[in-house]
Chain A
Amino acid sequence: MIEFEHVSKHYGNTVALDDVSFTVPDGTVSVLIGPSGCGKSTSLRLVNRLLEPNDGYVRVDGTPVREFPPQILRRGIGYVIQSVGLLPHMTVEENIGLVPKLLGCDKRDRSRRAGELLELIGLSPDEYRNKYPIQLSGGEAQRVGVARALAANPPILLMDEPFGAVDPLNRETLQQEFISIQRKLRKTVIFVTHDLDEAVRVADRIVLMRDGNVVQTGAPEEILGAPANDFVREFVGSDRALKRLARFIVGDFMIDAPSVDRGAHLDWNRYRDFEVVYVTDDHRHLLGAVPRDGRAAMSSAEDAMDDALVGAVSFGSTLRDALAEILNTELAETPVVDEHGHLVGRITMAEIYSATPRRIV
């Protein structure tokens, strides 16, 4: 657990942090976000003593960080910054092994650990071990930065705009990977970003800051659903309701979808309450959809269906994706499939409206 207790920091007459208090519970991701100069990076650096507060305490598991020698403290805290943080004269393996080396691990252990971590972040150890940072793409360098922070298995990770230098497409992949790694490892993470979408995606809690003060803290859906004041409302944007949908998983909201086998005759009398019936094969693979007003008296469902209507969302995606899909089709709903393409349910506008903050991604 990381606690900020009435922490203030100023540079000369400039106040960077003004009596800031918040808590990061164990095993959760807290995202510090706000406009530039709000004090989010300053807060992060107070934790590993790259900066010292003028007043107040920063505690890790109850102990003020100032009671640890800085080097010892830092070796126990993973630190990820934009990819320039890799040492350019060292190979990927040497970069990952940096902290273990400082802690006195021998070369064999370091090499083994680097292999494990490269596997974890999805880079082939044999291929990447001996590369230099300049030979990596932005996304790869960033992954190696995460691996380096995890090398000594620290309980705490500090991430300072870790994906800021990566293009949007890669950034989303990196965020997904980070989320799945975090699900496995359950680190206590402070994550600094200025990208609200990123915050909504990775955060368990958001700490929204402005001019050295904490404006609002809470789960992303709370902040998006109930902005504390005009500043927050403006910061999260008029599309906050849309952003909030990104916090909800399709699988938790979907309802049963009516379906017929492709060989069977479609009898609308049986589906009186439905606007759309889905057509599947013997293994319940989704093939297409038949809208009520579509071609009627055909011999089989397969002949009647319109396969142009078969856009679907996966049950692991978010309600935001589902809404986008609904708007993409001519139907007022979208089918949901599992990872094998099997039809497992559907989402209509009613489910979108019903979304309530009851699950954290």
Chain B
Amino acid sequence: MTSRAMRATFQIVLLLFLLLFVYMLDFRLGVLRLLFPLQRELIYQRVTLPTLVIQHLQMVTISSAAATIVGLLIGVAVTRPAGRDFLPLARDLSSFAQTFPPAAVLALAFPVLGFGFRPTVAALFVFGLLPVINNTISGIESVDSRIVEASVGQGMTQKQVLFRTELPLSARVIVAGIRTSIIINIGTATIGSTIGAGGLGTVIIAGLVRNNTAFVLTGAITAAGIAFVVDWLFGRIETLFYDPRERVTT
């Protein structure tokens, strides 16, 4: 079997496992019982796992969508002639913000935005913004300046240069940034449940409080599985775009 076929098989098995684990109670029970034969309480009863998954995905989708849009706009703005002065600032800020612990962002956000869903989404948004901005800047900057000049020289307007040359040529790098942003957010979103945002963090926190490793693992396995599937999906999306490593021969 080729490595590609092996990967495809692994991905399908993983997806199947994830679906069964989340939606078939008996399957999940079986897996957890195998892992924790002595644990009496294996299934978190207060909220069903599919509900937690949906809450989790809602937080991630909203925050990542906003981060993607805003990050793209910022990245494009600071690479325009008019916004170029802000380029170093945008780079520094996004690098700096990435060093902030997520818990600190939450702690800073909830006095302003209250408990629960909204401050979590805000924190995830800030976190998801950075890879998108960074990759948008790097992607656009990496487009060969001679190709940009050729485009201008053929009579493209600034907007046409952006949409017909710069974005298509940097799309792969930008999508990679969005991919990183979403993967980070899927993991980080679990922390939102500490301020009552719901999501897969809920069952993890419950597990920690009650010293129930089965609960912790239920949340962790599910979040990791979702991250895997999304990562795989975006890996496929990236291949749709022009690969900047393919340089023109001269």
* Interfacial residues, chain A to chain B (CB-CB below 8 A): 48, 50, 70-76, 79, 81-89, 98-99, 102, 133-134, 136-138, 141, 148, 165
Q: Which residues of A contact B154 (CB under 8 A)?
A: 74-75, 79, 98-99, 102, 148
Chain B residues 132 to 177 lying within 8 A of chain A, measured CB to CB, are: 144, 146-147, 149-157, 160, 164-165, 168-169
In the complex where A84-B248, A102-B160 touch, is A74 in contact with B147 (Cβ < 8 A)? no
Are A88 and B146 in contact, CB atoms less than 8 angstroms apart? no
> Could you give 8 example pairs across A and B, Cβ below 8 Å?
A71-B157, A74-B152, A74-B154, A74-B155, A99-B155, A134-B246, A138-B249, A165-B250
| Chain B interface residue count, Cβ-Cβ cutoff 8 angstroms | 23
Residues of chain B within 8 A (CB-CB) of A137 are 249
CA A79 – CA B154 in complex, angstroms? 7
What B residues does A102 contact at CB under 8 A?
154-156, 160
Q: How far is the CA of A73 from the CA of B153 in the complex (A)?
A: 10
Does residue B86 face the partner (Cβ distance < 8 Å to A)? no
Inter-subunit contact A89/B242 (CB<8 Å): yes
Alpha-carbon distance A86/B169, docked complex (angstroms): 12
Given the complex, which residues of B lie within 8 Å of A141, measured CB to CB? 248-250
Chain A interface secondary structure, helix, strand, loop or mixed?
Answer: helix
A86→B248 CA distance, assembly (Å): 8
B153 contacts A50, C-beta separation under 8 Å: yes
Within B201-250, the residues touching A (CB, 8 Å) are 242, 246-250
Which of A72, A85, A134 is B249 in contact with, Cβ under 8 Å? A134
Q: Bound state CA distance, A87 and B248, in angstroms?
A: 9
Among residues of A, the one whose C-beta sits closest to the C-beta of B244 is A88
Provide the residues of chain A in CB contact with B169, threshold 8 Å.
Answer: 87-89
Q: Which residues of A contact B157 (CB under 8 A)?
A: 71
Residue of B nearest to A48 (CB): B153
Shortest 6 CB-CB contacts between residues of A and residues of B: A85-B150, A75-B155, A74-B155, A89-B242, A79-B153, A165-B250
Q: Bound complex: CA of A139 vs CA of B39, how far in Å?
A: 73
A70, B152: Cα distance in complex, Å: 9
B153 touches A88 (CB 8 A): no
B246 & A83 in contact (Cβ 8 Å cutoff): no
Contacts of A72 in B (CB 8 A): 155
B149, B156, B164, B246: the one contacting A88 at CB < 8 Å is B246
